[in-house]
Amino acid sequence: MTFTRSTLLIACSLASAFAITACSNANNEDKKQTTLTASAPATGEASTLIERNAQQRLSTTLQQHFKTAGINAKITDIKATEVPNLFWVSLEGMSSVYATSDGKYIIQGDVIRLGDKELHNVSENLQAGVNKKIFAELKQEDLLVFPAKGKTKHVIYVFTDVSCPYCHRLHEQMDEMNGKGIEVRYIAWPRGEQHMPAMEAIWCSEDRHAAFNQVMNGAQIAPANCKNPVRAQYQLGLNMGVNGTPAIYNAEGVYLGGYLSTAELIKRLDK
């Protein structure tokens, strides 16, 4: 893998069910940016002065390497992972990456632990914590919320795009999900620049719910311009490692998957 001054290429990751239950990002140009795009990290806290000093040295080394490579990346936090000599590096406004303890290598993508019946992503807990904080800072008026009917048992956040067939399938079961006590909070995530106008038109509509339902049913709505959060939400998704829609998270920030039936969704929410 090579790194250029303008970008770091996204590393290939393990194939997963997500690949067949979500629509991928169709805008390849969005990957040609000056951000590090990767799924985030692992767990661990510096418990001794020696560890903290080691992390400070790593931070200094990485910042020097970033500067040499012309990469505009500011390190905000470094944590040890369960993998020996591998650290999680949090970057301001960008996705987190892994780094070796000597600062010579960074890794973009997931680190998977083997040995159990199920594969374990060592980044899951820490990234979930980051996601939870991000969701808590979102303004309700910037989202498209479909509340639960009766008592709210679960809240999910869904990155969605009207051009994605799997998003259509998920939205078709909205009444069923709401009826089961699930509140759905949509976050705009157009999969390419060509889909940005449609999502902005929905978010600029006087009745956002009606506009979204209309487009999901195959109808057209008139273009509209206004101050809206669509681009900001798209960037937020990139920072979290979203690479396709739908991308479903629970209120604790845990990634649940791409398209899920209501029964499967409830199973994962109750897990």
Hey, CA dihedral for 38, 203, 128, 130, is it positive or negative? positive
Tell me which of 23, 185, 191, 204 is the catalytic residue. 191
Catalytic (active site) residue 142: no
Tell me which of 23, 110, 167, 185 is the catalytic residue. 167
CA angle at 255 for the pair 77 and 13, rounded to the nearest 5°: 75
Catalytic (active site) residue 167: yes
Tell me which of 23, 110, 164, 204 is the catalytic residue. 164
Tell me which of 110, 161, 185, 204 is the catalytic residue. 161
Catalytic (active site) residue 116: no
Give how far Cα 203 sits from Cα of 172, 222, 253, 263, Å. Answer: 20, 12, 24, 29
Q: What is the b/e burial string over 89-126, where b = at least 16 CB atoms within 10 angstroms of the residue's CB?
A: bbbeebbbbbbebebeebbbbbbeeeeeeeeebbbbeb
Catalytic (active site) residue 52: no
CA angle at 241 for the pair 168 and 118, rounded to the nearest 5°: 85
The catalytic residues are 161, 164, 167, 191
